[in-house]
Structure 1
């Protein structure tokens, strides 16, 4: 029994020893929604925190990607204040994605993971292009969520209502290290 436990611990240590940490270099996360009858809302952030690692293949990529809701900005500062309030930013200032699995499709990758927003964790899937070249790993992809799925009400302004669906796109550039 002791040999089995030792073997499992040793295998786990070897597995983690092969993992390379990825250092976030540059990127952006964008959100898009619309105010019915008015205009588009496109907040974005470049202030991204990431803890990703990879073994020998892209499908071994694991970790988390986070942002602070207060780092999201659009072209309208007053609207941003409403956005922070609608996202319950004071109570839940972090939005994070925990990567669970990656599957190679024909010309892209299916990334599955768990998005935490408003204190709730929900499974999401994203289609992405992933380029592994010159010691860089670059992820470009998108997915959509519904605010109501995270117990958030789409904001209303007089007779205008924000669409429930938020389209999220990302460009993330990492150096293997």
Structure 2
């Protein structure tokens, strides 16, 4: 039985192609109630992504360092890194669990790990496959789900909900 499982695992790995990230961006959005928006983004993304024959076979992990998120306000970015506890837990990662076709989109289920806490999330994405593979979509999280209290200053409070958009272009591999 063990040999059969080993052979099946090897067959799956041998059939999967490593996808190289050509270009990607992750954007976050939240608001300071009664004041302004906060829109940090990063293009500094580490991927370990594989794909078999079907789009639904895409698996892997996306990793960013929270200190690579930048907005149009450097002073606010420093405060954001403190709120995200970047010095203690700098990595934010998303690991794909499953991809399922839903109409003309794909439902991606995965684990988002931030501040040493992991929660399962789902996102609807558009995934196209031509000369490259493009994956883009969005989802929302609450800071408090990850043990992070939205900051307040005087009468201003940052919204708990963070909207996240992503767009990735991958080389199709061999």
TM-score when normalising by structure 2:
0.97
SS at match of 2:104: coil
Query: Residue deviations 1:63-116, cap 9 Å, x none?
Result: 100100000000000000110000011000000000000110112111000000
Note the C-alpha offset of 1:157: 1.8
Query: How many corresponding residue pairs?
Result: 173
Match of 1:9 among 6, 9, 23: 6
C-alpha separation in 1, matches of 2:26 and 2:122: 16
1:78-89 alignment runs, 5 A limit: 78-89=75-86
> Aligned residue for 1:160?
156
> Aligned residue for 2:138?
142
Structure 1: 5+ residue runs without aligned partners?
none
- The answer to whether residue 18 in structure 2 is matched with residue 21 in structure 1 is yes
RMSD: 0.8
TM-score when normalising by structure 1:
0.95
> Aligned residue for 1:117?
114
C-alpha separation in 1, matches of 2:89 and 2:164: 19
- The answer to whether residue 68 in structure 2 is matched with residue 71 in structure 1 is yes
SS at match of 2:71: coil
Note the C-alpha offset of 1:158: 1.8
C-alpha separation in 2, matches of 1:101 and 1:174: 18
What stretches of structure 1 move > 2 A for 4+ residues in a row? 4-8
SS at match of 1:56: coil
C-alpha separation in 2, matches of 1:12 and 1:37: 54
> Aligned residue for 1:58?
55
Note the C-alpha offset of 1:11: 2.1
> Aligned residue for 1:176?
172
- The answer to whether residue 127 in structure 2 is matched with residue 130 in structure 1 is yes
C-alpha separation in 1, matches of 2:4 and 2:123: 36
C-alpha separation in 1, matches of 2:31 and 2:40: 11
